[in-house]
Structure 1
Amino acid sequence: MVTDHAAPPVAARGTGLPASLTPGRIHRLAERIAAPADAVRVTTHAPYTGAPLADLPVSTPADVEDAFARARAAQRAWAATPLNERKKIMLRFHDLVLTRRDEVLDLMQAESGKTRRDASLEVIDTAITSRYYARSAARYLAPKRRRGAVPVLTHTTELRHPKGVVAIVSPWNYPLSMAAGDAIPALMAGNAVVQKPDTQTALTALWALDLMHEAGLPAGIWQMVIGRGSSIGDALMAGADYMMFTGSTATGRRIARDAGERLIGASLELGGKNAMIVLDDADIDRAADGAIAACFPSAGQLCVSIERLYVAESLRDEFIAAFVARTKRLTMGAAYDYSIDVGSLTTSSQLDTVTAHVDDAVTKGATVLAGGTARPDLGPLFYAPTILTDVTPDMTLYEHETFGPVVSLYPFDDVDEAIARANATPYGLNASVWTRNGARGRAVAARIHAGTVNVNEAFAAAWGSIDAPMGGMGDSGLGRRHGADGILKYTEPQTVAHQRLQGFTPPARISPDAWAALLTSAQKVLKAAGAR
C-alpha cells in the first residue's frame, strides 16, 4: 500500500568528476597495487553517473603470496623499530589526513556516491584513530608485571608480541575508516599488513597507503591487493597470521571456519538489523532528528545504521508526523560540496536489493510513508529515503538486512515489549534508545543484545568513544575494534616467569608430605591476608 508522499527535494545531477581526480593521479595510486604491469585489469564506475572511474590491475593468488613474502621480510625490522618511531609516523599521518582532506573527500564521493558530509566524518574518524593509537599503544603494549605464583619469589611479566602479518579485508561502504582504521592499530603493534580493499573503493584505500608512506612508513610494511574474494581469498587466508574482515555474515562464517582450521585468530564485523527505541517520555523533535541521523547516512549503507524503529504507542502519531516531514525535506543529489543530505547507493546490486525488499513489502501490504522508489532522474543508483509501516514477518526486510535508506516503523505498548522485539534477531551490532531520563535510557540499553547501544544518539556516540570496544554479538561478528581490544587482538601475549630462590619441589631436608602440608598452610595464610 502506498500513501501520497512528496519526493525529497533534489539538487542538480552531477555531470563529472572533480578536477582533483586527474587520470595521472588515479594511475599513480593504482601503481601501489601488488600486481604486475601486464595484469588483467578491471574498470570501476562512479555511482553518481555510471561513468568509468578507474582502470585497476587485478592481483592473482601468486601476487598475494608475493605480497605476503615481502611483508613478512619487512615486518622483522618494523617490529624492532622503537614504538616511539612508529608513533611519530602515525602522528604525521594524522596531520596529512587532515591537511589533504579535500583530496580524499573527492575520492570517497567519486567511488562510493556518498555525500561530502558523510565522507567528512571518515576523515575525522581516521584522524582520531591514528592519534589515539599513536598515543595509547605504549600503554597497551608495555611489559606488565603480573602477580607471581609465590609472592616475592616469582617475578612474572606479560609481554606483547606482534602477530606477524595481518590480512585485512575492508568494505566499500566506509572506504577510509575501515581501510586505514583497521590497519593503524595493526601497524602500531608491530605487524605488517596485506589488505584487500573492495575494488569499487580501492582508490581511497590506496590514498591512505600513499599518505602513510609519505608519513614515513617503510616500504613493504603495508601492501594492497585487489581482486574478488573467490579468486584471492584463499591466498589471503593462507598467508595471514591474523584475519580482520568486515562484510557479510555468510562470508564471515567461512572466514571463521577457515581461520579455525589454521588455528589463527580472526576479528569479524558482520551484518546487522539494528533497532531504535523511542520511549514514551522521549523528546519527539529530538528523537525525529535522531532517526534521520540513524537511518539515512551514506544512503543507509552503514553497518550500524537503524533499520527497525520502535515507537511508544502514546507518541506514535506525533513522532511519525515529525519523522516523515523531516525525511521529505532531505535533499538528494550528486554534488561535491556540503549541499546534499542523501547521496547515491554505491553498486547496482545494492540498488537491486533495496528495490526488491521494498517492492516485496509493498506487495504484501506494507504502507509507504515516504520514499519507496528509485530516483533514476538523479543518477543510476539513487533511491529515495523510505519509511514503511505495517511490516509483517512474511516480508523479506522484516528480519533481513537491507543496507539501504529504508526503515520500518513499529509501535509498542510497554518497554518490556520493545526490548523483546529489539532483541528478536540473530544480529546484535548496534542499537539506539531515546528518552528524557538518562538513567532509564542506560537501564534499557543494558538489556539490549547489541555490542553498542547509544542513548539519545544514533551510533556516533559509541563509535566515537574510541577508548571503548566496538563490535557485534551473535551473527554480527566476533572481536572488537577500538580501545584495548582494537590493538591487543593483533598481538600474542607471552608470560615470562622467573622463579627465584626456592622452587616448587620440596627442599632436600623436607619430606614430600611435610612440604604439601606447608603449602596448604601457606594458602590459608594468604587467604586470611587478603591475597588474590
Structure 2
Amino acid sequence: MTDVKAPAGPLGTNPAATAPAGARTAADVVTPEVVAQLTRDVVGSGRTANHTPLTEEKLADLPESTPEDVADAYEHARAAQPVWAAVPVRTRAAVLLRFHDLLLERQAEVLDLIQLETGKARLHAHEEVQSVALAARHYGRRAPAYLRPRRHAGVVPGLTRATELRHPRGVIGQIAPWNYPLELSVADALPAFAAGNAVVMKPDTETALTALWARDLLIEAGLPAGVFQVVLGEGPVVGPEVVRHADYVSFTGSTRTGREVAKGAAARLVGVSLELGGKNPMLVLHDADIERAAAGAVRSCFASAGQLCISTERLYVHESIADRFVARFAERVRAMRLGGSLAYGAEMGSLAGRRQLETVIRHVDEAVAKGATVVAGGVARPDIGPLFYEPTILEGVEPPMAVCTEETFGPVVSVYRFTDEDDAVERANATAYGLNAAVWSRDGRRARSVAARLRAGTVNINEAYAAAYGSVGAPMGGMKDSGLGRRHGSEGILKYTEAQTVAQQRLIPLAPSFGMDDEAYAALMSRSLKVMKVLGLR
C-alpha cells in the first residue's frame, strides 16, 4: 500500500493502489506456522478470527475461549504461580531485562504485527516498542528495591520492630484494548510478573497476535509458560469471567466498560486499576514557540490516528497568536503523508475498525452541520484504504456538538481561542475526564504553574504526551472519569502486591507490667507520648 499525502482539496484517486514490488504483505508475516506457534497455549475450545484494518481481510483463525476455558486458564495459572513467587525477585527481574534485549533485537517482527492488526504508521508502532522496553528496563532494575522489606518506626522506639513485607496477590486478571496491543498488554503485565504473580490476559481478539508474540518472547526470556495464560473471545462473554476469577484486575478501555469491571471487582472485594477515556486538552500560551507548538500538536493529535487515550482532542490557543498558530498547524496537517505500508515513512495510518470510522464521520459531519468549520481534512480516504480518514482540524465547535464533549478517539481536534489563562484552565478542566494534558510556553515557571492547576493525571510541558508517559519512574493514570490507580513507578508494581506488617515486641509487653496497675500504666504511656512528640518522633 502506497503512502500518499492528505490533499488540501476533494478526494482524488490513489495513483498506486497496490503495494510496491517486494513489499511485505500480511501473508508474508502471518503465516500458518507463525499462528500455530503463537496460539499453541491459548485455552480455547471454539474458533474465531481477527482482521487487518488495512484491507479488512482476515489475518488469522484463532482459538476462542468459553467461560469454562477461562476457569481452566486460571487453574493452570494458580498451579504455576506459587513456584514462580518462590523464585528470588532478582531472578524474576532478570527475565524482564532479557526480554528487553530480545524485544529490541527482534522488533521488526512485532512492528509488522502491530501495523497489520491496528493499521497505524510504523513510527507510531515503534512508540510501543520504546514504551515496553522502558518498562522492562525500569522494573528489571528497580523491582528488587520496590519490593524489599521496609523498616518502620515501632510503637515504642527500640522495643518494637515493625517491618513491611510485600506479597504477590496471586493471579492477575488483565483486560487489554486494541489500540496499543503491545504496550497496553505486556507492559502492564511486566511489573505483575516481577512481583511474583501469574497473569491471565484477555487481549482484544483483533490485536491478539501482537500480545501472543510478546508472551512467546517472554517465555524465551525465561518466564515459565504457565505463569502467563491468554484467553480470547468476545468482551461481554470472556471479560466478566476474567474478572470473576481474578485476585486483582487490571483494565484499560472505555469508561463505560470500566464501570462494569469495577462493579464486578467490588462484588468480590478484589482490587482494580482502570485506565479509561479522555478528552485531553492542549494549551498554547501567548508566549509559546509557534513552530514547535504546531509540530507538537501534530504529534499530540494524530499519533496512531488519534486512537490514543492520551492524545489531544481539545486545543486551546491564545487569541494573540491563534491565527498564526492555526495557519501553521493546518499547513503541517495538510502535508502529512498517509499510508499503510509495512515500512517507515507514513506520518499517519488507518483507523483500526469500522466503528471508529463511523464515530469520526458522525462527529465531524454533525459539527459541520451545526456550524463548525473544517480547517483541514474532514473526509474519508478509501483510495488509500477502507478505514483511512484525513487528519482533521475543526473550529467553531460548541455544545451540543458531540465532538465538543464526547471522546472521538480518532484523528480530529477542535480549536478553541482564549484571552485569559484562568479562563483557559477552567475550560480545560470542564470535562468529566482527566487523563492527560499539555502546556506550551517559553516561560517554564508559568507553564508549571498552569500545569499544576490542570485536573489531569499527567501534564506535559512543551511536549505532546511522551515526556510524561515515557518517564516510567513516575506514576501515570487518570483523574475523575479517566480511571483509578496508576501504572509506572512504585504504584505500578506495588498495586500487584499485598502489604503485610510484621511487628515484633521485645523486653516488655504493651500492657501493665512489673506490678503496675492500669492507672499507672496509662499515666506512663501518656508521659511517653508527650516525650516522643517533643523529640520529634513520627
Q: Give TM-score scaled by structure 2 length.
A: 0.96
Paired residue for 1:302, among 296, 308, 321? 308
* 1:271-324 CA-partner distances (Å, limit 9, x unpaired): 000000000010110110010010000000000000000000000100011000
The Cα shift of 1:163 comes to 0.4
User: For residue 42 of structure 1, what is the aligned residue in structure 2?
Assistant: 48
Residue 198 of structure 1 aligns with an amino acid whose one-letter code is: D
The SS at the match of 1:494 is strand
Q: How does 1:490-509 map to 2 (within 5 A)?
A: 490-509=496-515
CA gap of 1:11–1:60, structure 2 versus 1, over 3 A, is farther
Q: In 2, Cα distance between the equivalents of 1:13 and 1:250?
A: 39
Q: Indicate the residue corresponding to 2:392 in structure 1.
A: 386
2:75, 2:42 → 1: CA distance? 15
| Counterpart contact for 1:8–1:328, Cα < 8 Å | no
Distance 1:167 1:158, change over 3 A: same
Any gaps of 5 or more consecutive residues in structure 2? 1-6, 20-24
The alpha carbon displacement at 1:233 in A equals 2.0
Q: Which residue of 1 aligns with 2:106?
A: 100
Aligned match of 1:291: 297
What residue number does 1:349 align with? 355
**What's the secondary structure of 1:436's corresponding residue?**
coil
Q: Distance in 2 between the 1:270 and 1:191 partners?
A: 24
Q: Are residue 29 (structure 1) and residue 38 (structure 2) matched?
A: yes
1:503 Cα shift?
A: 1.3
Whether the 8 Å contact between 2:202 and 2:239 is mirrored in structure 1 is: no
1:276-287 map, 5 Å: 276-287=282-293
Matched-pair contact (CA < 8 Å) for 2:275–2:477? yes
* Aligned residues of 2:240 and 2:261 also touching (Cα < 8 A): no
Deviations 1:81-140 (A, max 9, x none): 111211221111111101110000000001000011000111111111111101100001
Q: Distance in 1 between matches of 2:236 and 2:30?
A: 30
Q: Is the 1:67–1:223 contact (alpha carbons within 8 Å) kept by the matching residues of 2?
A: yes
Task: Look up the match of 1:17.
Answer: 26
* CA–CA distance in structure 2, aligned partners of residues 64 and 381 of structure 1: 33
Q: Is the 8 A contact 2:314 2:415 kept in 1?
A: yes
Contact kept? 1:44, 1:200, Cα under 8 Å: yes
CA distance in 1, matches of 2:514, 2:91: 52
Determine the structure 1 residue equivalent to 2:416. Answer: 410
Q: C-alpha offsets along residues 247-271 of structure 1, whole Å, 9 cap, x if unaligned?
A: 0000101111111111000000000
Instruction: Show the 5 A alignment for 1:483-522.
Output: 483-522=489-528
**Corresponding residue for residue 476 of structure 1:** 482
SS at match of 2:42: coil
Question: Residue 462 and residue 62 in structure 1: after superposition, are their counterparts in 2 closer, same or farther (change >3 A)?
Answer: same
Q: SS state of the match for residue 93, structure 2?
A: helix
Using the alignment, how far apart are the partners of 1:371 and 1:13 within structure 2?
A: 21
1:177 partner SS: coil
Is the 8 Å Cα contact of residues 30 and 60 (structure 2) preserved in structure 1? no
Is contact 1:11–1:332 with CA below 8 Å preserved after alignment? no
Aligned residue number for residue 234 of structure 1: 240
Moved more, 505-514 or 111-120: 505-514
List gaps (5 residues or longer) in structure 1.
none
Which of 434, 438, 449 is the matching residue for 1:443? 449
Evaluate the alpha carbon distance shift between residue 108 and residue 501 of structure 1 in structure 2; reply closer, same or farther with a 3 A threshold: same
* Structure 1 length-normalised TM: 0.97
Instruction: Write out the 4+ residue segments of structure 1 that deviate beyond 6 Å after TM superposition.
Output: 7-11
Question: Contact (CA 8 Å) 2:243, 2:249: kept in 1 or not?
Answer: yes
Offset at residue 530 of structure 1 (A) = 1.3
Q: For structure 1, which segment, 27-36 or 72-81, has the greater mean C-alpha deviation from structure 2 after superposition?
A: 27-36
Secondary structure at the aligned position of 1:296 is classed as helix
Structure 1 distance, partners of 2:353, 2:18, is 17
Aligned-pair CA distance for 1:435:
0.2
Quick check: 1:429–1:451 contact (8 Å CA) kept in 2? yes
Report deviation, 1:511.
1.7
- Contact 1:299/1:405, CA 8 A, preserved across alignment: yes
How far did residue 18 of structure 1 move? 6.5
Question: Where does 1:293-332 land on structure 2 (aligned, <5 Å)?
Answer: 293-332=299-338
CA contact (8 A) 1:78 1:190 kept: yes
Please show how residues 3-152 of structure 1 align to structure 2 within 5 Å.
Answer: 5-6=8-9, 12-13=16-17, 15=19, 16-17=25-26, 19-36=28-45, 39=46, 41-152=47-158
The one-letter code of the counterpart of 1:323 is: F
**Maintained 8 Å contact 2:11/2:381:** no
Cα 1:239/1:291, change in 2 over 3 Å: same
Alignment CA distance shift 1:184-1:14 (3 Å) = farther
Please report the RMSD computed on the Cα atoms of aligned residues, expressed in angstroms.
1.4
Any conservation in 1 of the 2:202–2:231 contact (CA below 8 Å)? yes
Contact 1:6 1:370 in 2 (8 A): no
How many pairs were matched up? 526
Q: CA deviation at 1:443?
A: 0.5
The 3-state SS of whatever aligns with 1:152 is coil
Q: Deviations over 1:401-445 (max 9, x none)?
A: 000000000000110010000000010000000000011101100
Q: Does the CA-based 8 Å contact 2:48-2:233 persist in structure 1?
A: no
The CA deviation at 1:508 is: 4.2
**346-355 or 507-516: which moved more?**
507-516
* TM-aligned CA deviation for residue 30 of structure 1: 2.4
